[in-house]
Structure 1
């Protein structure tokens, strides 16, 4: 039973990172509605791969170093802000002109780079993500889980992200088949979200 709790706690923690609205889900949504479920899933894998990198960096103490390096944090915010503004332009252009023909790995690279420089993701790893390194009590969505097996919690964490990046694009594709204008609406909405977060990161960096 305790092993099951550890896995469930990890899944909840993964969903607490992957599910909330933000620039990563805007990019996944744009890829899903313009290029199909596989493209949305690949974009999700890009963000998930960045989280795997963050986990390794956190385990090695690099994330803790970032907590004490405001200049590095500001540089990451500036780079992330510029990337998101650039991706916002691409999303708006794609929504205006229709689905663009891009190579298969473009969505993966976009989310991977954006996630690595996403201050929100870094903050999550400095706070809630610490539970993966020092299991005991994991809190997610307002619930506290007593964790006894850290390895299973890490396994559950990445399973939770995988569930989201699989299910979210599927839901968007199903909705897209029912609503003809969804592709254009999601495209413009993604552009707005990316632009807002991009400008916010840039202002915060300054």
Structure 2
């Protein structure tokens, strides 16, 4: 695969792992609603640093593991696809709430980014999500030893996550008076559908390999 394809896949993974509405998304939305676009982006950038660290650890670690157990790659893709589908259904049924109390806006840009970083880096589900996603990519993932390809995919993850925070902060700051819990539900529904579709796509790829 080309470096552009690795970057594009990383970009999509970055969005898929960032879009589900969790604590950092709630925090970014609150700040964008009350303080504007830049404040929302700064919150997101703290989480981007944490996600980039986890993505790098996952893709380099998974590459080494998959290279060591090549015979089990099909099973890993099978399990990974199932977990993506389950995760997608879980996100679909999650109902986040936008609470306007106790936001702590006095921390400033650096404080907001730092708080978001620690919120994201202490989430054990984040590293597992990256491991399962990268482990399920099969031939779409850089092979063991392709450090340049792996770095480009990690950069794609960072770019995708950053793009999400720019998009959500711009959208929220522009439509700040229309943001409510129903809007957050729609975001989770879209993210859930995309994760389920990604899992089904992995199964379709496995089927083509098996019967092709």
Q: TM-score, normalised by structure 1?
A: 0.57
Q: CA deviation at 1:56?
A: 4.7
Asked if the contact 1:135–1:149 (Cα under 8 Å) also holds between the matched residues in 2, the reply is no
Unaligned stretches of 5+ residues in structure 1: 65-87, 139-147, 190-206
**Structure 1 residues 111 and 2: alpha-carbon distance in aligned structure 2, compared to 1, 3 A threshold:** same
Deviation at 1:104, TM superposition (A): 2.5
Q: How do 1:24-103 residues align onto structure 2 when only pairs under 5 Å count?
A: 24-58=24-58, 92-94=100-102, 100-103=105-108
For 1:52 and 1:2, the matched residues in 2 are separated by 21
Kept in 2: contact 1:14–1:159 (CA 8 A): yes
Q: Structure 2 CA distance, aligned partners of 1:94 and 1:135? A: 44
Residue equivalent to 1:164 = 164
Paired positions, count = 145
The 8 Å contact of residues 7 and 153 in structure 2, kept in 1 or not, is answered as: yes
Q: Tell me the distance in 1 between the aligned counterparts of 2:158 and 2:105.
A: 30
Name the Cα RMSD after superposition: 3.6
Indicate conservation of the 8 Å contact 2:32/2:38, yes or no. yes
Q: Aligned residue for 1:6? A: 6
Q: CA deviation at 1:103?
A: 2.5
Structure 1 residue aligned with 2:130: 125
What is aligned with 2:194? none
Q: Structure 2 CA distance, aligned partners of 1:101 and 1:152? A: 36
Distance 1:165 1:150, change over 3 A: same
Which among 114, 117, 140 is matched to residue 109 of structure 1? 114
Give, in whole Å, the separation in 1 of the partners of 2:100 and 2:46.
Answer: 21
